[in-house]
Structure 1
Amino acid sequence: MGGRGRGSKSRTQRKHFRDGRENVWKRSKSDSPADGNSAATAAVDRSWQPFATQNTAFDEYYKEQGIVSPEEWDTFVEVLRSPLPAAFRINSSSQFSSDIRQQLENDFTKCLQAEGADGAEIEAIRPLAWYPDNLAWHSNYSRMQLRKNQTLERFHEFLKLENEIGNITRQEAVSMVPPLFLDVRPEHFILDMCAAPGSKTFQLLEIIYQSTKPGSLPDGMVIANDLDVQRCNLLIHQTKRMCTANLIVTNNEAQQFPGCRLSKALSKHSVSEHEQSMGQLLFNRVLCDVPCSGDGTLRKAPDLWRKWSPGMGNGLHNLQIQIAMRGLALLKVGGKMVYSTCSMNPVENEAVVAEVLRKCGGSVELLDVSNELPDLVRRPGLRKWKVRDRGVWLASHKDVVKNRHFGAVPGMFPSGRTYVPPIEKDIKNENGGNSEPNQELETSNEDVDEETSDLPLERCMRIVPHDQNSGAFFIAVLQKLSPLPAIPENPKKQKNSIAKKDETQEKISDPSVEDTDEQEQESKSIVMESASEAASDIDLVDNEEEKKDVPMEVAPCDKVSTENGLEDTQVTVNGKSDPEKAVGERKLQMQGRWKGVDPVLFFNDEATINSIIEFYGIDESFPFKGHLISRNSDDNHVKRIYYISKSVKDALELNILVGQQLKIASVGLKMFERQTAIAGSDAPCAFRISSEGLPLILPHITKQILNASPVDFIHILTYKTIKFRDFVDAAFGEKASKLMMGCCVIVLKKDDDQVSSDTVKVDASTIAIGCWKGRGSLSVMVTAIDCQELLERLSVRDEGMKEIIARSKESKVLNRKDEKEEVEVTEELAAEQ
């Protein structure tokens, strides 16, 4: 309806998207041989050269871990060292999702089967059997095939256009799996803890929107978080195409994600009953796709081969546990959390899940989901594995050299048991003795007994590349059965640093404890040096610690001025300001707490709101007032007004009450934009409806809206601007001329509607565009690429439309030719005179 999925992108976001990861499978010019004069050398330069895909440490490590059998090792490695096929997913909430699916099934697939490539039948496009409703597809074709096959070339252009609009999303196939096991419903509150680049977030939003009717919003919402600011920009770019009012993008540390708990003192004295409805921000579902070493993405990031080492996974183990425990702490009892990585390493996978289960006791259960998605080929999780540290294979914590305890912690091993050496050894070491054997040398596997976990880790699932020609992934589904136990601190004073780190992990697992400890430095360096250069689905950890904001002392007045000139609203009690009210032990934070981030402010300018309601005739049934926000504290200079759902509204109100704990990078659906070009004109309303917000508000508009015949609708899309007298339907042109100056909405008339009908009926199939009514003409207010895509959709949907579009384009070409000739004749006459 109006094309949900159409969204504009800011200049910064477009630049960041263009500056993304380079295709490392394509050999750069600098790597070509020095002697490029001979024909043979030139031929070599033009041909594809494989990236180095050899790593002895990788082969040795995974052969020993036994993630695949020895008989299939060669097949496993062969597939892992080949380029990854592309995959994409149809946006199920898009107005044209069924049209796009039919075009793939009936047009592209059948044409390719009939044509073949290079004299043989190819399977360049096929649906993923395990993804519901044929909404996810696999495509695998070479550049040579693309150049030689017209259908593939046409398909390639189709992909680029639909991805830009938001009707499809390019996403690695295995990356689509985790959200499917969350069992998401439209009313759920969902937290995506490490969300960038945003493909899984987009997928979660699609699911909660699936049963939503036109003009309404689901009751649930998604909070998408990422630590890295630049990756947040990419996350915003991806999710903007969804055009949703049910999303908040935040920029917080995942392992310290705020709980936004409303203190009892504040709720008792300062907050109304309505505001008390959400006393803490908890979630029905949590997606915990943690930062990892990323060796499951070797097929699309082959440069990782030369950098991979077992230490990458070891260094991230503690951070992964912290993030998972924080996710469970924020999960409601009865809710589900999916823990996932794009790594094959059991130290990052089964070991993390096992340690989380041990910390949570019986309050969390690892679910068996082997009967779900039966067509998805997956393997059960491991119950025994080893840890490799500094070239040494370790089967138990007791085998760890004492000065390496920080590098190989008990939770990495299957049993999770801690080995404490006798006191005599500690005393001897303090006196300069050497009671530990030299374990820096390679040890044989016969020297140690392998541990086996007593937890049901076979309920986890591991996807390996050669099973279904994909990347690798690990997934575990956890359900919270009861509140997490409070884990007491160790009363004994520990003499080494690892004891303090274990203490920190215990605090993080307790939902009643605020997380303030710093992240382990070794984990950070490994993430930045290795995982940052893996594929785009790997989530990164910032190099530097985020600067903590100092609570601002507030003056006893309703508004205070901050350093950046923004006004900050203070909580009031009975109409009077109360600067002494605090949240817990902290002063209530003001707007503008986060440096460099625009504040989120509820837009309450009654004059502007009333002018919008009156101009567009927005009916009273639509929840409008109280659902508008802006990012500018000066109402007179607000350029964009955003709309938020009730769930997001409640979350924002709670965030303000608890002192702006969430660092919000993006929120809300852009509903209105100030039309700066009409300053001082006769237009009674300065704000136009944005393309993103049109589908939501369209059923509730009673003014400035007209039906147009297919011919005139297509002419508007084709010509962009048409004078009132030039419309094919003269009655429509006359009605358009009588509209008030400013923004209006033109709806494509359906076959069963009367052209002259003044009543506009809106449903899920309604197609509408925003236009600008000037003094003598009507101009489309849709981007050129949106116009192109909409014309393509209409031509595919209806043969009659296809003919009208063809004639309209031909007429446009002829008109341009006539205009050019007229200009030339005029210039000749002027020259003769």
Structure 2
Amino acid sequence: MGGRGRSRRTQRKHFRDGRENVWKTKKSDPQEADGVNNNENDSNGNNTNKPTHWQPFAIENTAFDEYYKEQGAVHPEEWESFIECLRKPLPAAFRINSSSQFCTDLRSQLEDEFMKALQTEGTDGNEAEGIKPLPWYPDNFAWMSSFSRMQLRKNKNLERFHEFLKQENEIGNITRQEAVSMVPPLFLDVHRDHFVLDMCAAPGSKTFQLLEMIHKESEVGVLPNGMVIANDVDVQRCNLLIHQTKRMCTANLVVTNHEAQHFPSCRYKKNSTNALDFGGMTELLFDRVLCDVPCSGDGTLRKAPDIWRKWSVGMANGVHCLQLQIAMRGLALLKTGGRMVYSTCSMNPVENEAVVSEILRKCGDSVELVDVSSELPELVRRPGLKSWKVKDKGTWLASHKDACKHGKSGIVPSMFPSGETHVDTSDNDQQNGEQTEGEDVLVTEVSSLPLERCMRIVPHDQNTGAFFIAVLQKISPLPVLQTKSSKHSRQSPSDNDEKTKQSEDDVANGNIGMDVDVSDVKNEESDEALNPSKKLKESEPEQVETVNKPKSRAEKANDKRKLQIQGKWFGVDPVVFFKDDAILTNIKEFYGIHESFPFNHRLITRNSDTNTVKRIYYVSEAVKNVVELNFLAGEQLKITSIGLKMFERQTSREGTSSPCVFRISSEGLPLLLPHMTKQIATSPPADFKHLLQFKSIKFPDLVDDRFREQVAHLALGCCVVVLNQGNEGVSDPPKVDKSTIAIGCWKGRSSLSVMVTAVDCQELLERLLIRFETEKESLPEPVKDDDDAQVKEDSEPVTVGSS
């Protein structure tokens, strides 16, 4: 423990010492210590060299200019426009959540209120173009804003627009996202029944897009057949991912924490009779894969100007192999006929075209680079490069032969257009007198692959950041290399199938040419998944015999694998199916939930003790199948978040006196409401607005007599108040469709209290005022009784994964 702590402190110290502090006061000249004063004085003798407390980031880098001019990323005549655009701040962009109940209202507000108001005002001459929809994004659901902070402070309309963005983003009705970052999901062609994997998902804006596509045109109270698994290697970034996607309120999402290049396939024994019990799956494969890999990030210079100072060619060279491994793993997890999008926010061909060309070389005819030039015609994009050079420590390299000649051991063949390996024989050539005079001339290779089908988005074309995108389709299973083993002749056909599949994974992970017989290992893993207790019993004697013996590296790795198969992921709560029949029966009877609503194996908790369960989550059929497959495969998936929070234990003073202590979560209400027959009251607009404004209203203060009577007949505890938008005839229970507006409330002994966050109440109130009125109605605040028990607002953060 102590040693690791010191190690961390040492790492922090090295990081701190090696980091330039731009806020630090400028140090005096070293010559001053020797009595030499170099300070400049004015005519009065006053010192004009004032200490610098802040220095802006330098927005130029000679090495950057030299590198990209040589690569020909843009034409020489447009270089100045390109570099000038890179030095300007990036306009803000955001998307309207297309699955939001108010998506069309938000779009109309942007078009009719903010954009037109600013065009009419035109104070600085820039407002007319300051807020506008992105022309290439479908249905005008993505917008761009190019206002500075100074403009936002000086203009009242802009200040109101800024507050609008902050509030709607917090609610989840809009998502702030860089414009070019919205592009990759659009080329995935996601349908509502697709299994989608987002390999490097954090911070989650693209995952949010994918979920919108899955839920597109879904019926009220019905979940789509597809799902999204969002993965990230960093635990903290997973938390950011959960925070971002929780605003979507979906039961079709699983968040995992794995290295993308080693993402597990959860393979299960093919001849298992239990396969039909969880959708017939024997392996976790995907219809669509988004492979937005870690990169040097120089396409984000406009958003992160600090990159100007840190940029070097080594940033791209250092991540090339990792990017290739992640992409190959993504293809191995892709179903035949499926589509994968490879993307980076980098302009460097070593991270872009070089990776794509190596993928095509490895996969042969099994993978096709798709031509999508006819899709999104309004998006200005440029074809991929077919020729480029590699630079390492100041030396330009046109081929792997040049790398060998200069002793560049860290430069791999896949970085070059041809991808050919060159064996350095320069010493022998020199001894034999075979070296020619023209040997130092760099002859740039040209790729024969159709790399022009890739897309390069450059900043000055549409005032965006830079991005690279390639769309790949899997035509057939990936080719595999035969592993060497003397046991091959003794393998059964089924064992050979397992070995072939494992070999495909090895190719995807870069484990090519290893002399390993993987079939025996795979069979052992399958047996262990079927009978974990057997595995534990067999391993116990070995643990006793080697208790005092230091473990080898291989043994430690094997121990780690055993822990993973047992599902003992450190720091992650277990995923448990909730099966307490007494509690489920109580919930169904209290809320009058239809028997047709699927509850069986759809409820998840993160705590095995049902007596202390605080939250119950609901998952879709697809997610349920994946969870069951994961159990049978040995819990290979490290799940940090899963499902939609449906029920939460009420802990207020009145909660214990209710017939049902579990209340409906505001996130789960839209899904559950169409299937409820009890604990529902229909409110006129006046009482509904009063609830949103005052959060708690006494029964005598309710305006509508019919509504007051409905509330009086409700049982003590959680209930749902549905807005009667047009004062039409009220049915019991009310009819629910996409336009239905409802909130969760708590009926106390003398009052009705809202169980929605203050931000949600404010946003919903504004939506209703815009829809039904032109001005807010001034209402007196009802008298509150201090002795009345109040129910706390549902303002706790949704941390999916806590017990």
TM range (shorter): 0.7 to 0.9
Select which of 624, 645, 648 maps to 1:649.
Answer: 624
For 1:114, what is the secondary structure of its paired residue?
A: helix
Q: Cα distance, 1:807 vs. partner?
A: 2.3
CA offsets, 1:558-612, max 9 Å, x none?
Answer: 99xxxxxxxxxxxxxxxxxxxxxxx9x9879666420110000000010011100
Query: Counterparts in 2 of 1:55-454, with a 5 A limit?
Result: 55-118=61-124, 122-264=128-270, 267-268=272-273, 271=274, 273-275=276-278, 277-401=280-404, 404-422=407-425, 425=428, 447-454=441-448
1:754-793 → structure 2 map (5 Å cutoff):
754=729, 757-793=731-767
* 1:730 paired residue among 691, 698, 705: 705
Whether contact under 8 Å (2:24, 2:54) holds in the other structure is: no
Corresponding residue number in structure 1 for 2:795 = none
Q: CA RMSD in A?
A: 3.5
Kindly state the Cα deviation for residue 682 of structure 1 after the two structures are TM-superposed.
Answer: 2.6
Q: Secondary structure at the match of 1:401?
A: helix
Q: What is the distance in 2 between the residues matched to 1:735 and 1:175?
A: 49
Residues 1:488 and 1:304: Cα distance change in structure 2 (over 3 Å): farther
Residues 148 and 273 of structure 1: is their aligned pair in 2 closer, same or farther, counting only changes over 3 Å?
closer
Tell me how far 1:725 sits from its aligned partner.
1.3
Query: Which 10-residue stretch deviates more, 54-63 or 143-152?
Result: 143-152
Match of 2:461 among 451, 464, 467: 467
Pair 126,775 (structure 1): closer, same or farther in 2 beyond 3 Å: same
Q: Deviations over 1:358-386 (max 9, x none)?
A: 00010000011111111101100000000
Q: Structure 1, residues 312-361: CA drift from partner, whole Å, max 9, x if none?
A: 11111111110000000000011000000000000000000000000001
Query: 1:63 and 1:403, CA in 2 relative to 1: closer, same or farther beyond 3 A?
Result: closer
Equivalence for 2:594? 619
Structure 1 residues 699 and 227, CA gap change in structure 2 (3 angstroms): same
Q: Percent identity?
A: 65
The alpha-carbon deviation at position 738 of structure 1 amounts to 2.0
Whether the 8 Å CA contact 2:22–2:54 is kept in 1: the answer is no
DSSP-derived class of the 2:119 partner: helix
SS of residue in 2 equivalent to 1:374? coil
Q: Which has the higher contact order (CA 8 A, sep 6+)?
A: 1
In structure 1, the residue matched to 2:541 is none
Residue 276 of structure 1 and its aligned partner are, at CA, apart by: 6.5
Deviation at 1:512, TM superposition (A): 6.4
Give the partner amino acid of 2:681: L
3-state SS of the aligned residue for 2:357?
A: helix
Amino acid at match of 1:258: P
Q: Distance in 1 between matches of 2:615 and 2:460?
A: 49
Q: String of CA shifts for 1:417-452, please: whole Å, max 9, x gaps.
A: 1112349749x9xxxx99999xxxxx9998111110
Q: 1:149 to 1:679 in 2, by over 3 A?
A: closer
Q: Which ranges in structure 2 are unaligned for 5 or more consecutive residues? A: 1-20, 29-38, 486-499, 513-527, 538-557, 787-803
Shift of 1:731: 2.6
* 2:695 is the alignment partner of 1:713: no
Distance in 2, matches of 1:680 and 1:70, equals 71
CA distance in structure 2 between the partners assigned to 1:313 and 1:509 by the alignment: 29
Normalising to structure 2: TM-score of the pair? 0.81
Q: 1:121 to 1:212 in 2, by over 3 A?
A: closer
Deviates more, 1:221-230 or 1:401-410: 401-410
Q: CA offsets, 1:782-833, max 9 Å, x none? A: 011110010011111222xx55x4223xx22x969x99xxxxxxxxxxxxxx
1:6-25 alignment runs, 5 A limit: none
- Please report how far the alpha carbon of residue 688 of structure 1 lies from its aligned counterpart in structure 2 after TM superposition: 0.2
Is the 8 Å Cα contact of residues 630 and 642 (structure 1) preserved in structure 2? yes
Residues 404 and 423 in structure 2, CA contact (< 8 A), matched pair in contact too: no
CA distance in 2, matches of 1:41, 1:232: 52
Q: Quick check: 1:477 aligned with 2:451?
A: no
Q: The residue matched to 2:681 in structure 1 has which SS? A: strand
Moved more, 103-112 or 139-148: 139-148
Answer whether contact 2:325 2:510 (CA < 8 A) is retained: no
Shift in Å at residue 390 of structure 1?
A: 1.7
Note if contact 2:680-2:733 (Cα within 8 Å) is conserved in structure 1: no
Counterpart in the other structure of 1:604: 579
Query: By how many angstroms is 1:295 displaced?
Result: 0.3
State the 1:33 CA deviation.
11
CA contact (8 A) 1:602 1:628 kept: yes
CA distance in 2, matches of 1:96, 1:282: 34
339-348 or 480-489, larger mean C-alpha shift: 480-489
SS of equivalent residue, structure 2 residue 461:
helix
Distance in structure 1 (CA, Å) of the matches to 2:27 and 2:439: 44
Is residue 326–residue 509 contact of structure 1 (8 Å, CA) maintained in 2?
Answer: no
Q: How much has 1:554 moved relative to structure 2?
A: 5.6
* 1:671 match: secondary structure: strand
Distance (whole Å) between structure 1 residues aligned to residue 53 and residue 116 of structure 2 = 31
Q: What corresponds to 2:6 in structure 1?
A: none
Could you tell me how far 1:490 is from its partner in structure 2?
Answer: 9.3
TM-score w.r.t. structure 1 length? 0.79
Q: 1:274 to 1:638 in 2, by over 3 A?
A: same
| CA separation of 1:796 and 1:276: change in aligned 2, threshold 3 A | closer
Amino acid of the structure 1 residue aligned with 2:453: R
- Cα–Cα, structure 1 residues 556 and 451, in superposed 2: closer, same or farther, change >3 Å? closer
Which residue pairs with 1:629 in the alignment?
604
2: CA distance between counterparts of 1:383 and 1:41? 58
State the SS of the aligned residue for 2:645.
strand
In the TM superposition, residue 758 of structure 1 has moved relative to its aligned partner by 3.2
> 2:644 pairs with 654, 669, 674, which one?
669
Report deviation, 1:406.
3.6
Q: Helix, strand or coil for the counterpart of 2:737?
A: coil
For residue 595 of structure 2, give the secondary structure of its aligned residue in structure 1.
coil
Alignment gaps of 5+ in structure 1: 1-26, 438-442, 492-505, 519-550, 560-582, 820-833
SS in structure 2 of the partner of residue 807 of structure 1: coil
Residues 192/722 of structure 1: CA separation in 2 closer, same or farther (3 Å cut): same
SS in 1 for 2:656: coil
Aligned residues: 699
Kept in 2, the 8 Å contact 1:591–1:599? The answer is no
Whether the aligned pair in 2 keeps the contact of 1:322 and 1:508 (CA below 8 Å) is no
Q: Does the aligned pair in 2 maintain the 1:322–1:509 contact within 8 Å?
A: no
**Is 1:223–1:249's contact at 8 Å kept on the other side of the alignment?**
yes
Q: Using a 3 Å threshold, how does the CA distance of structure 1 residues 752 and 446 change in structure 2: closer, same or farther?
A: farther
Write the distance in 1 (CA, Å) between the matches of 2:432 and 2:667.
70
Counterpart contact for 2:313–2:391, Cα < 8 Å = yes
| 2:133 aligned partner, one-letter code | P
Structure 1 residue 263: Cα displacement = 1.9
Match for residue 721 of structure 2 among 746, 759, 767: 746
2: CA distance, partners of 1:338 / 1:508: 24
CA contact (8 A) 2:564 2:635 kept: yes
